[in-house]
Amino acid sequence: MPAVFKTLTSISVWILFIHGLVAIVWGGLEMWVFNDEIKLTTMAVISCSLGTANLLMAAAAAKLRDMM
């Protein structure tokens, strides 16, 4: 495999990882800081779900990158 595919996979893994962390932090802020009381809002659920999915996809892409 050409090295360009490994490079593109590495970039994708980092983008997914950073977006996953930011989404989870945003969901936490939405739940605790942006509301007067601690409550689970729809926006927090969606944000944390997307963040978790991105972290799982980053792990899968990192595993595929190692197999290249």
Model confidence, pTM? 0.84
13-23 pLDDT, tens per residue?
Answer: 999 999 999 99
Report the C-alpha gap between 19 and 45 in whole angstroms.
16
Strands (E), 10-66: none
Q: Are 61 and 13 in contact (CB under 8 A)?
A: yes
Domain ranges within the chain, ordered by starting residue = 3-67
Please check the confidence at residue 62 and state whether its pLDDT lies above 90: yes
